[in-house]
């Protein structure tokens, strides 16, 4: 077995079926099953919902339904049906504006491209279970009788806390190499171990993950980073070789030494993993910023009086941008992570900032993400979160009006005062706004008086 640290789940397997699913959603899904059963078909809940139900954890997974009804039969029994994968026997039944995936039991034949089978054959429940990825995901549940149907030993693996492929792990992964990332994600999410043969198959096939599209890789990595144990996920990815194949820039952090006075925890990879582990329910932007905030350190490391990483925040930000472009992320996500990473070293000086600079700092669109990443960054190294607490208090102190007030001085005011339009306008207005943020100018009249009083100096300084 690999990775043995996990909390016991024991009694969770005895919790009543559906305890944590909203009654309405489960009731609607059950009505779909009943409709199929009333028409002579077998129909069962499948996959993640059943797994989570047995674990006794909050069950927010969609309810997928598996049946021996063909797509044509499914379409004939329900009013609102969409074919989302009819070639693979998958239909979307929509009831009460909630979509439920209803898939025909099937067997997959051949391997087309490391993702899709060459063909499928409609089959029965047992055959369908045997073609799924992991034993813990191969369980069925009959909502009418309350019966758990287990053809693959999934219940036992749930009790033991084991991630194990159904059948030959090399075959399961070659059918869809993304399953290797899914194994890591489930192991981290549930603090489960990965069964030895499954682990060895991942290690030997890690390089094959590059056959999967960047978008699908990002989706799996994103789920890991937003899951309960992102640090564990990155550790597992590094140990099995998947980190080198998906995020080589992060893998390169291993062994990069840091000054022990500031980073007693160890090298940059250890710090990054600890930073992720220190996050509290992060946003997607915060999580990816935490992962990538120090990836420029290998390139910027120098050893003089001590180990230094001059300008590593900008180098890291540029590298983060390239990585997220490679993963086909949205423009907003890329730009936001860039800003967070680029700005993360500026938190060192916040207590010394002049008031106007501090207010602009707090007004940054990505400030909330940056603040939570800064907290985790500190906890993962020296442990001092005084600047975090300082900023938190300052943000509470400044109401929205004081933090982002409308400027007293505008271009039309300068025109009325006889200034000629040009670059001088922006310079004067920005200086006046800084004084306003510093609370040295408190009214519009004071702003106008400041311009008049300093007219000669302003004109002279802006013309030089």
Averaged pLDDT for residues 158-166: 97
Q: What's the pLDDT at 20?
A: 46
Q: What's the pLDDT at 12?
A: 41
pTM over 0.75: yes
H or E element, residue 198: helix 196-205
Please tell me the least confidently modeled range out of 76-80, 108-112, 158-162.
108-112
Averaged pLDDT for residues 40-46: 97
Most confident of 19-23, 79-83, 181-185: 181-185
Q: What's the pLDDT at 117?
A: 66
Q: What's the pLDDT at 113?
A: 56
Residue 15 has pLDDT above 50, yes or no: no
Summarised one tens digit per residue, pLDDT across range 55-65 is 998 666 689 99
Q: What is the rounded distance in angstroms from the CA atom of residue 403 to the CA atom of residue 37?
A: 61
Kindly report the three-state secondary structure assignment for every residue of 9-77.
Answer: CHHHHHCCCCCCCCHHHHHHHHHHHHHHHHCCCCEEEECHHHHHHHHCCCCCCCCEEEECCCHHHHHHH
Beta carbons within 10 angstroms of residue 82's beta carbon: 12
Give residue 114's pLDDT band: very low, low, confident or very high (50, 70, 90). Answer: low
Q: What's the pLDDT at 87?
A: 73
Q: What's the pLDDT at 14?
A: 43
Q: What's the pLDDT at 262?
A: 85
Is there a contact between 293 and 287 (Cβ–Cβ < 8 Å)? no
Residue 4, burial from CB neighbour count under 10 angstroms (0-12, 13-18, 19+): exposed
**CA 186 from centre of chain:** 14
**Residue from 181, 278, 267 nearest 229 by CA:** 278
Residue 10 has pLDDT above 70, yes or no: no
Residue-averaged pLDDT of the chain: 90
Token look-up 């909502």 returns: 143
Is there a contact between 44 and 63 (Cβ–Cβ < 8 Å)? no
SS3 content of the chain, % helix, strand, coil (to 5): 55, 10, 30
Pairing type for strands 64-67 and 98-104 reads parallel
Q: What's the pLDDT at 119?
A: 67
Summarised one tens digit per residue, pLDDT across range 349-400 is 999 999 999 999 999 999 999 999 999 999 999 999 999 999 999 999 998 7
Beta carbons within 10 angstroms of residue 383's beta carbon: 9
Residue 23 has pLDDT above 60, yes or no: no
Summarised one tens digit per residue, pLDDT across range 175-216 is 999 999 999 999 999 999 999 999 999 999 999 999 999 999
Q: What's the pLDDT at 116?
A: 62
Considering the four listed CATH numbers 2.40.70, 1.10.3210, 1.10.3470, 3.40.50, the one that applies to the domain covering 247-403 is 1.10.3210
Residue 25 has pLDDT above 90, yes or no: no
Token look-up 């004939």 returns: 76
Averaged pLDDT for residues 108-112: 64
Q: What is the rounded distance in angstroms from the CA atom of residue 312 to the CA atom of residue 299?
A: 8
Domain ranges of the chain: 10-165, 247-403, 411-463
Summarised one tens digit per residue, pLDDT across range 314-359 is 999 999 999 999 999 999 999 999 999 999 999 999 999 999 999 9
Superfamily of domain 10-165: Beta Polymerase, domain 2 (3.30.460.10)
Residue 2 has pLDDT above 50, yes or no: yes
Summarised one tens digit per residue, pLDDT across range 227-274 is 999 999 999 999 999 999 999 999 999 999 998 888 899 899 999 999
């Amino acid at each position: 077995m690999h990775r043995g640290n996990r909390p016991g789940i024991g009694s969770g397997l005895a919790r009543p079926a559906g305890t944590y699913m909203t009654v309405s959603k489960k009731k609607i899904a059950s009505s779909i099953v009943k409709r199929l059963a009333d028409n002579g078909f077998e129909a069962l809940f499948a996959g993640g919902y059943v797994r989570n139900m047995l674990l006794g954890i909050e069950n927010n997974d969609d309810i997928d339904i598996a049946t021996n009804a063909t797509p044509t039969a499914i379409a004939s029994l329900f009013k609102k049906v969409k074919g989302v994968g009819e070639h693979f026997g998958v239909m979307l039944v929509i009831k009460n504006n909630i979509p439920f995936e209803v898939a025909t039991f099937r067997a997959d034949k051949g391997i087309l491209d490391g993702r899709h089978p060459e063909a499928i054959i409609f089959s029965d429940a047992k055959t369908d279970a045997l073609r799924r990825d992991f034993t813990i995901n191969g369980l069925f549940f009959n909502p009418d009788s309350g019966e758990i149907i287990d053809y693959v030993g999934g219940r036992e693996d749930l009790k033991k806390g084991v991630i194990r492929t159904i059948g030959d792990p090399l075959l399961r992964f070659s059918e869809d190499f993304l399953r290797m990332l899914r194994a890591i994600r489930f192991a981290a999410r549930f603090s489960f171990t990965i069964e030895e043969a499954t682990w060895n198959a991942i290690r030997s096939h890690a390089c094959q993950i590059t056959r999967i599209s960047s978008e699908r890789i990002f989706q799996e990595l994103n789920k890991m980073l937003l899951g309960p144990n992102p640090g564990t996920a990155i550790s597992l990815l590094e140990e099995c070789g998947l980190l080198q194949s998906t995020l080589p820039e992060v893998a390169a952090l291993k062994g990069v030494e840091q000054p022990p006075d500031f980073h007693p925890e160890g090298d940059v990879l250890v710090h990054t993993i600890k930073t992720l582990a220190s996050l509290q329910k992060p946003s997607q932007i915060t999580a990816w910023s935490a992962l990538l905030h120090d990836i420029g350190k290998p390139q910027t490391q120098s050893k003089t009086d001590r180990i230094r990483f001059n300008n590593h925040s900008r180098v890291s930000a540029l590298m983060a941008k390239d990585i997220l472009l490679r993963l086909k992320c949205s423009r907003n996500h890329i730009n936001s992570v860039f800003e967070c990473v680029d700005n993360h070293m500026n938190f060192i000086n916040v207590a010394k900032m002049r008031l106007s600079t501090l207010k602009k700092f707090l007004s940054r669109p990505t400030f909330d993400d940056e603040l939570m990443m800064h907290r985790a960054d500190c906890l993962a190294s020296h442990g001092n979160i005084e600047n975090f607490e300082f900023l938190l208090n300052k943000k509470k102190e400044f109401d929205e009006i004081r933090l982002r007030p409308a400027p007293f001085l505008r271009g039309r005011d300068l025109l009325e005062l006889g200034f000629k339009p040009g670059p001088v306008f922006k310079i004067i207005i920005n200086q006046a706004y800084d004084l306003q943020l510093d609370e040295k100018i408190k009214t519009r009249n004071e702003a106008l008086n400041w311009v008049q009083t300093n007219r000669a100096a302003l004109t002279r300084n802006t013309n030089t």
